[in-house]
Amino acid sequence: MAQDATPRTRIETDSLGSMEIPADAYWGIHTARALDNFPISRRPISVYADLVKALAMVKQASARANKEIGVLDAERADLIDRAAQLVIDGQFHDQFVVGVIQGGAGTSTNMNANEVITNIALELAGREKGDYAYLSPIDHTNRSQSTNDVYPTAIKVGLSLDLKSLLEELDLLRRSFLAKAVEFHDVLKIGRTQLQDAVPMTLGQEFHGFATTLGYDHQRLKENAYLLYEVNMGATAIGTGITTHRDYAAAVVRHLRGITGLDLATADDLVESTSDTGSFMSFSASLKRNAIKLSKICSDLRLLSSGPQAGFGEINLPAQQAGSSIMPGKVNPVIPEVVNQVAFAVAGADLTVTMAVEGGQLQLNAFEPVIAHSIFQSITWMRRAMRTLRVNCVDGITANRERLGAMVGSSVGVITALTPFIGYSAAAALAKTALLTGHSVADLVVEAGLMSREEVTKQLSPARLSGLESITEAIPIVRDETPVDIDAAETDAEPAAERVDHV
């Protein structure tokens, strides 16, 4: 039986020696050493597709800049350009195999990109993988570059690309809450402060508040995106631009702007920009803000849907799966719960970023890999969490209208709406009576002769109770015309209420 003559490996050599590389691999010896050295996360950088695309965009921009300024011949530059475009288009991502956590400040990631793009280019030229005498990963694909400017720039570009999809999902979630606000605009309920009954509002107002806070987060994230637009391409090793042509920095950023569509700019101080990673910390903090606020919303949804019999039971979340292996019929709020957990992870990742930023030394921060992994993971998980929250929870929420109506009807909290007319002390006394006797607040106010039935009915209308209609015909009740110190009144409500003429 004839044996297959196709070689299964090829030999590649670096400054440390030689290694056998799988013949069909587009990566080479530098990547192979990283695979041996960093079997940590078991997650390749290809899990973050936008980071891989960004690496290819940087290589493409560099090839075009090097060609323009005459430090790389057109034939090789064009091959690198074409190869990079294939990666940008989504091909060969499985060849980006180094782990997301690695030593070396990202050198393994940069070399993985150099080797893959070089070997793609070699095949485009009709040559064998590993023919580095013709096209070298370092001398040609990495011309005018260093890991120390390529890697942070690729992270910033990749995060900017990833952020677009996150913002799209965040806006869809905001709109979903807004649609529920419209649907529930006439559903009266009792608001709560410190988990105690407060004053009436509508369920629509509550959901509108959720939509508004997500809208604010959308704005903050967009604003913080600009922190990522300052890059240090042309800095090479430490910011001095050693090994680069004087025209390279301006050319490469101009080409990168055209390729990415981002408003990128060269940092004013390349030495500072190469060593400082503060922009990543600020951006991570904005992600944490969004995650924590979203988690608070999800905790509210869990409370509002608690029960269904012995809890709040104000809203019904879509039933997504059986909730217990022992309690028949139990259904848990699994979607808000998973979003809570994502928020906890994002908060932890933000602390990791903070510590890694602080850990930088002198002219470089060696911990950018864990910074990149932490932020990319946060964006990825948040985007997925927002989608499942929207599709599998918010869109299907219904209001328990009968229960809410009964709760409002029996609540003493509605008496707050009458305090401008009967005074705080009288309202407090009647509220206590209502709680003890179970009598209607409206009936007690009328029986006490404090307001007519018509006046009570008007002031306790859903529009007035929820604040959708302002009080414009308040009955004057205070005899003392002395100007009131607002700050003092905030902390001295009881003595002020004693001046009510009905008491």
Residues with a catalytic annotation lie at 324
Closest CA to 116 of 47, 32, 18, 50: 32
Count of positions (residues) in the chain: 503
**CA–CA gap between residue 204 and residue 468 (Å, rounded):** 11
In 226-333, which residue ranges form alpha helices assigned H by DSSP? 248-260, 270-275, 278-304
- Give CA–CA dist 20/9, Å, rounded: 6
Give CA–CA dist 331/307, Å, rounded: 10
390 CA to centre of own chain: 15
Please write down the HEC assignment for all residues of 96-163.
Answer: CCCECCCCCCCHHHHHHHHHHHHHHHHHHCCCCCCCCCCCCHHHHHCCCCCHHHHHHHHHHHHHHHHH
Measured CA distances, 173 to 15, 70, 228, 253, 385 (Å): 52, 50, 25, 35, 10
Distance CA 371, CA 368 (A): 5
**Percent composition of the chain: helix, strand, coil (DSSP 3-state, to 5):** 60, 10, 35
**Which of 150, 114, 154 lies closest to 237, judged by CA?**
150
Q: Which tokens go with 238?
A: 């430490």
SS (H, E, C) 378-439: HHHHHHHHHHHHHHHCHHHCEECHHHHHHHHHCCHHHHHHHHHHHCHHHHHHHHHHHHHHCC
Question: Which residue(s) pair with 297 in the sheet?
Answer: none
Query: In the numeric block, which tokens belong to residue 115?
Result: 């080797």
Distance from C-alpha of 339 to C-alpha of 342, rounded to nearest angstrom: 5
AA letter at 108: S
